[in-house]
Structure 1
Amino acid sequence: MAAQRIEAPATPPQDPQDPHARRRRIVRNTVIAIIAIPALIWLVLYITKGRFLKGPFESIVGRMTDRTVTVKGDFQLYFAPLRIKFYAEGLTLSNPAWATRPDLFAAEKIDARIAPLSLLFGKRRIYALDLTNGAADLEWNGAHDRNTWTFSEKKGGKPLEFPRIDVANVTGTTVRYRDPRLQVLADLKIDPIRSVDARIGRAVGVTGGGTIRATPFTVVARLLSPDATANRGKNELVLRARAANNVIDVAGTLPSIADIEDAPLRTAARGRNMAELMQIIGVVIPQTRDYRLRGQMVKSGDEYRFTRITGVAGASDLAGRLTVTVGPRIHMDAVMATRALDIVDAAPFIGFNPDIVEAKGAVAAAAATGAGPMRLMPDAAWPVATMQRFDADLKWTVGLVKSRKVPISNVDLTLDLERGRLALSPLTFAMARGNVASDVIFDTRPRPSAVSYDIRLAPTPMGRLLAGWGVSESGTTGTIRGRIQLNGRGDTIHDSLSTARGRIAFVMPAGSLWTRNVQLAELDLGTFVQKMFENKLEKPVQLNCGLVGFTVRNGVAAADPILIDTTKNVIVGRGGFSFRTEAVDLAFRADGKKFSLFSGQSPVGVGGYFASPRLNVISPDLIARAGAGLGLMLVATPVAGVLAFVDVGDAKSAACGPVLAGATAKAQRTTKGAARDDVGKGTTATSEDGSRPKGQKKDQKKKFLGIF
């Protein structure tokens, strides 16, 4: 029996209206389109090299960046095969309208292979880059709230960011950087860069120069970790800049090649004068001798913080911190400390050049400021305009001032400069076991500057204070205290004191004074001979009280009074000195309290100038008295000749109350309460109109400094 063939039932025809079949067709066609369209686009781009996209590229990128994009030569943009191939000749990308240069970036040729997905996600990556003669112009605007490389209208510029570059061949690259607020303009040239597999393998150099606040500078830098930089990693940078006789070295690790924000950088500076360094950023400080400083710098926004500063300036050490805030007005905030300050290094604080002081002395340094012959006070004008452009706060402590004459230590200076008003308040220091406190104000806002001096000397042992001028510490128990209060107008120290008004007073309470050399004390003839020829006193001078006071008017200081009461004598002085001419014209006279057979009874003068005072111990009065004595010996008897030197001892002891109070001559009294007739009445200051005080006798008309 033949086998029967069993046939499978025929598949029923599909219904065109079947919804499941319809969805399958849509999915199939979509997948084909998704694959075919990019393939077609890729094929078209690959065949045409994407040259037809030149116009759309310029237009689209221009709208995205709000800049003008131009490709003058050949242009290619396509996938080769899965990497984006970008090629452009004569590419330019414009700057915003406010910039000083037309183009942010221009290149003779760019040939790059770019990872497509990196344009959308993560770090941008360039597999290969060939860049020829690229030029970048990086600028900040005047308000420092926009820059040329941030493509946004929002305020606040972003730091430059570089992509990862695996293979690079970069030649002829230049960068121009401009920051109007810092007044910096730099033109830099970058050495050729060649890398393979994101490894450059050698340091990349940068050279160039420019100006900072009109001061020319040059710079040489090297990127020591170019491989890491190419991979957007750490950036080891060393840089050396030279400007205005200064050398600045910077080294450290940057977060990116063009960003120093919050990156600690090792910084060192050296030069012949630190004032030249600070002048670069528009800040005025006193001159210094050769200096060497090092520390750490961190930039944070508008602040440049220098910490761990150590070094020397001249023969003095320096340590501390400094913050410079850059804005419409530069502000400096510093805390500094010095263990030992050489007195020569302190000379610039009164306007002297320390190198001249060290080599030729103070008089030569004063002459270098424009002062006249034999002048000691500097006549250098303060930089008023610059002082009004920046602000500063300084706290400076000095352990010891190295000086041959006056022992000074524990200096504590607080400085405040705000809009042209400079205050040294307080300025305190220890001097010979005593303390000096002062407040000095230089206000440059009025014209000429208004200057005030208030200097206070706490009770200080005279032995140590005057040890450099022949006073022996052993046997000297006297102290001295005083105050100087002056107000003047002028743009130099000399001018401000030449117009000064005020008072100077130094008070000596009871004590003893022992001199090793000729000094102005105990001026009767016998003591004078001892001083002159034996160069010492057998016993200290016993002081009851003393006052050396001056009233200052229009820069001229007149004795008001000079009155020193000792156990044997009353010493009075007249005359004064001038801040205008720096001339000194003082006369001291000692009247004995007891009868003395041999007494000169004649003034001993101090003349000359601040820079070269002169002691007139053999005065014309003494010579005249000796002549009179010789005449009496010739016409009468030898005994009569000594009458010219007799002191009857009628000097009235001084009431120490007004003396110790620093009172003027008018208030001085004898111990019995009577007004003194040996001070005032022409022996001290005239009235303000220059007239002779009431009661002055005609024979008192000898003038000192033109004021008596």
Structure 2
Amino acid sequence: MELTAPQRTGEPGTPVASAADRRRWWWRVARNVALGVVAVLFAIWLVLYVTKGRFLKTTFQSVVGKMLKRDVRVRGDFQLYFAPWNIKFLAEGLSVSNPAWASKPNLFEARRIDARVAPLSLIFGKRRIRWMELDGGALDMEWDAAHVANSWTFSEKKGKPFALPRIDRAAVRGTTVRFRDPRMQLLADLKVEDVTALEKRIGRAIGLSGGGRFRATPFRVEAQLLSPDATASGGENKLTLRAWANNNVIDVAGTLPSLAELEDVPLRTAARGRNMAELMEIIGVVIPNTRDFRLRGQLVKSGREYRFTRIAGRFGNSDLAGRLTVTNRERLHLDSVLTTRSLDIVDAAPFIGYNPDIVESRGAVAAAAATGAGPAMVMPDAELPVATMQRFDADLKWTIRDVKSRRVPVSNIDLTLDLERGRLALSPLTFAMARGNVASDWIFDTRQRPSANRYDIRLAPTPMGRLLAGYGVAEAGTTGTVRGRIQLAGRGDSIHDSLATSNGRIAFTMPQGSFWTRNVQLSELDIGTFVQKMFEKKLKEPVQINCGLIAFTVRNGVGAADPILIDTQKNVVLGRGGFSFRTEAIDLAIRADGKKFSLISGQSPVTIGGRFVQPKLDVISPELIGRAGVGLGLAIVATPVAGILAFVDVGDAKSAACGPVLAGATAQAQRTTKGEKRDDVDRGRPAKAEDGKRSDDEKQTQKKKFLGIF
């Protein structure tokens, strides 16, 4: 049929076309074009339907490969056609390659994939799959080392979150998913449980299981999508996950915007295990050992930050709450604020290197031995984790309200920790002790080898009655206070080694007040008997103290009295000897000299020996035996009355000037109340050599006065 366009109006010799003629002409044109398009589409549909589109296999590989900038291959049967209205896609041996930087050659592989795709969804960008059968699928999802590009974003631009198309029905068999993130140091290999959808719903849950490695720690994981129908429709992805790693169980639950999208998504988390140190070891962080723990909180990943908030739970018999932020940059960094209402003293044992379970079941000596310390030693010899401390940084503020302890009245602990490139500072570390305050700074600098460690501990004026209530001292009747300072510096990668090489000074002063004891034993050291033997009282009234100083000068790990000087209303208490941080041996002799004449006095040095773990009190000293011998000789040679002379105390003790005492001055600076230099105090010389035998020089410096008064 030949179409002739109507002639224009007004031209000479031609008829004038009406408007109706023009409309009929345009309608015929549109009809013919439409019929032509339908015919062409029908022809294409018919050809594809008859051939199943198998001839498009090469074209599909080439076109899709160029679009994705990947190598696309179909090694088996291929079909692409309308059946009848949805696009039928079938491929056997399909593979899509990964970018060159990936660790695996292919992003996706499948033995067989058979799908029905809604064609309009491809036009409008909302991909919808009516039906999909996937057999032997393998999906490899990776981020690059810089965490900028990923394997599933087909461009050179920044990687986008992974998003599944909407899937109405599916059957999945033998499919695996691999995920790798070098920045997180995470590798997971998961198996998708077989899924069969017979009607219009996938089912109530899709399961995943498998394992992998996080940093250097292997793990096992089981997960479920609890709302797969909503997931397939592009809705909520309700995920629950449980992982087992390094003797810990970790639970994660939440709603994801997409299956591989965790950014800024709040996730409920919970963890439990036998030792919190094993949990932190997973991310390469070292903390002291703990007893079993159970914690819960909320996790939000934001860029390089992993923020744990609303933390609450317990470790051992102690509670814990607060927040923790882990930043995964060039160096791992931890920033945390923690609070504890009640801390069991046993749970604090790991802070100095003890295993709390051993402390609770077998005591401190066994716990010290477990760290490598020698027999009968209490100072831990566990080495600092130097290499690990130099790999990460940390900031911590931890407040503890109460400490459960039978004998140590500690509360209101406020700890600030700063770890930077191997230098660990506990500064300040403050706490209340028996209504007094302790402020301290502990520095462990592992950048120097061996570690350079400093200890500075300051005790504000503290009531002795409450401080020593668990050691035989009565609160009622004891009004004296004590203040002091410990300043030591040493080298070593353990507390024992650093103290065994330390130098510095220890000094505790006592201003005027009273001191009263009860006859209560602590191990083999009986403070009640000790004080009674010192002052020869029946403990019916407290001892009145004018001032006192207990001080030691420490050289190369050995502390020597410098001085021990306590001035009371009736006596002057003097001490000599010292102790060793190396062997934990004690060798002290303390005695009280009367200020007034006493006819009958058995006073002699009371010695404290043994070791830190088991000090021993000896009230039968050689001086007392010597007095008894002299008395017996005089009684035999002269008269029984003459034997009393051996126990006469002439009462020549010189009262101490309290200024130098309260200033914590060394023995050389001590004076009498008359301003005279004291010659009866030790001057910082150890009482015994390291082998436990008194040297000749030490013997000469310990000459005694007549009748055993030194």
Matched with 2:289 is 287
What aligned pairs does 1:394-433 form with structure 2 within 5 A after superposition?
394-433=396-435
Identity of aligned residues (%): 71
**Cα deviation code 1:201-246 (max 9, x no counterpart):** 2222111112222322211112111111111111222211111111
The residue matched to 2:402 in structure 1 has which SS? strand
Contact 2:253–2:267 (CA under 8 A) maintained in structure 1: yes
Matched with 1:476 is 478
Contact 1:524–1:600 (CA under 8 A) maintained in structure 2: no
CA distance in 2, matches of 1:102, 1:219: 25
Matched with 1:546 is 548
Q: How big is the shift at 1:150? A: 1.7
Contact 2:201–2:229 (CA under 8 A) maintained in structure 1: yes
Q: How big is the shift at 1:312? A: 1.1
**Cα deviation code 1:430-465 (max 9, x no counterpart):** 100000011111111111111111111000000000
Shift of the 88–508 alpha-carbon distance from structure 1 to 2, 3 Å rule, reads same
Matched with 1:345 is 347
The residue matched to 1:386 in structure 2 has which SS? helix
Q: How big is the shift at 1:636? A: 1.0
Matched with 1:672 is 674
Matched with 2:466 is 464
Q: How big is the shift at 1:569? A: 1.0
CA distance in 2, matches of 1:265, 1:661: 58
Matched with 1:82 is 85
Matched with 2:5 is none
Contact 1:91–1:106 (CA under 8 A) maintained in structure 2: yes
CA distance in 1, matches of 2:33, 2:365: 98
**Amino acid of the structure 1 residue aligned with 2:193:** D
Matched with 2:60 is 57
Shift of the 400–699 alpha-carbon distance from structure 1 to 2, 3 Å rule, reads closer
CA distance in 1, matches of 2:533, 2:659: 30
1:388 equivalent in alignment to 2:390 = yes
1:102 equivalent in alignment to 2:110 = no
Q: How big is the shift at 1:195? A: 2.6
1:151 equivalent in alignment to 2:159 = no
Aligned length: 678
Contact 1:133–1:172 (CA under 8 A) maintained in structure 2: yes
CA distance in 2, matches of 1:417, 1:164: 49
Shift of the 253–183 alpha-carbon distance from structure 1 to 2, 3 Å rule, reads same
**Cα deviation code 1:355-412 (max 9, x no counterpart):** 0000000000000000000110001111111111111111111110000011111111
Q: How big is the shift at 1:50? A: 1.9
Q: How big is the shift at 1:196? A: 5.2
CA distance in 2, matches of 1:187, 1:393: 34
Contact 2:460–2:483 (CA under 8 A) maintained in structure 1: yes
One of 630, 635, 638 as aligned partner of 1:636: 638
Contact 1:166–1:196 (CA under 8 A) maintained in structure 2: no
Gaps of 5+ in 2: 1-12, 520-525, 689-693, 705-710
**Amino acid of the structure 2 residue aligned with 1:94:** S
Matched with 2:577 is 575
Matched with 1:224 is 226
CA distance in 1, matches of 2:420, 2:64: 49
CA distance in 2, matches of 1:394, 1:114: 55
**Amino acid of the structure 1 residue aligned with 2:681:** V
1:645 equivalent in alignment to 2:647 = yes
CA distance in 2, matches of 1:585, 1:375: 16
CA distance in 1, matches of 2:180, 2:137: 18
CA distance in 2, matches of 1:526, 1:124: 93
One of 656, 662, 665 as aligned partner of 1:663: 665
Farther off after superposition, 416-425 or 46-55: 46-55
Shift of the 61–647 alpha-carbon distance from structure 1 to 2, 3 Å rule, reads same
What aligned pairs does 1:285-684 form with structure 2 within 5 A after superposition?
285-517=287-519, 518-519=526-527, 527-528=535-536, 530=537, 537-680=539-682
**Amino acid of the structure 1 residue aligned with 2:288:** P
CA distance in 1, matches of 2:531, 2:332: 59
**Cα deviation code 1:559-618 (max 9, x no counterpart):** 111111111111111111111111111111221111112233532111111111111211
The residue matched to 1:120 in structure 2 has which SS? helix
Contact 2:500–2:556 (CA under 8 A) maintained in structure 1: yes
Shift of the 71–526 alpha-carbon distance from structure 1 to 2, 3 Å rule, reads closer
What aligned pairs does 1:233-272 form with structure 2 within 5 A after superposition?
233-272=235-274
One of 43, 48, 52 as aligned partner of 2:46: 43
Contact 1:525–1:599 (CA under 8 A) maintained in structure 2: no
Matched with 2:121 is 118
CA distance in 2, matches of 1:349, 1:71: 62
Q: How big is the shift at 1:104? A: 1.1
The residue matched to 2:62 in structure 1 has which SS? helix
**Amino acid of the structure 2 residue aligned with 1:86:** F
Q: How big is the shift at 1:276? A: 0.6
Aligned CA RMSD, in angstroms, stands at 2.7
**Amino acid of the structure 1 residue aligned with 2:545:** L
The residue matched to 2:290 in structure 1 has which SS? coil
Shift of the 120–420 alpha-carbon distance from structure 1 to 2, 3 Å rule, reads farther
Q: How big is the shift at 1:524? A: 8.6
**Amino acid of the structure 1 residue aligned with 2:640:** P
The residue matched to 1:344 in structure 2 has which SS? helix
Question: TM-score, normalised to structure 2's length?
Answer: 0.91
**Amino acid of the structure 1 residue aligned with 2:130:** Y
CA distance in 2, matches of 1:201, 1:158: 28
CA distance in 1, matches of 2:304, 2:375: 48
**Amino acid of the structure 2 residue aligned with 1:619:** S
Shift of the 697–241 alpha-carbon distance from structure 1 to 2, 3 Å rule, reads closer
The residue matched to 1:96 in structure 2 has which SS? coil
Matched with 1:93 is 96
Matched with 2:708 is none
**Amino acid of the structure 2 residue aligned with 1:68:** D
**Amino acid of the structure 2 residue aligned with 1:79:** F
Contact 1:525–1:598 (CA under 8 A) maintained in structure 2: no
**Cα deviation code 1:523-564 (max 9, x no counterpart):** 796943x4xxxxx50110000100111111111111111111
Gaps of 5+ in 1: 1-9, 531-535, 687-691, 703-708
The residue matched to 1:378 in structure 2 has which SS? coil
**Amino acid of the structure 1 residue aligned with 2:136:** N
CA distance in 1, matches of 2:31, 2:532: 131
CA distance in 2, matches of 1:426, 1:198: 64
Q: How big is the shift at 1:183? A: 2.2
Question: TM-score, normalised to structure 1's length?
Answer: 0.91
**Amino acid of the structure 1 residue aligned with 2:187:** L
CA distance in 1, matches of 2:156, 2:409: 63
Contact 2:599–2:648 (CA under 8 A) maintained in structure 1: yes
Shift of the 684–130 alpha-carbon distance from structure 1 to 2, 3 Å rule, reads closer
**Amino acid of the structure 1 residue aligned with 2:581:** F
What aligned pairs does 1:155-234 form with structure 2 within 5 A after superposition?
156-195=158-197, 198-234=200-236
CA distance in 1, matches of 2:143, 2:56: 33
Contact 1:561–1:684 (CA under 8 A) maintained in structure 2: no
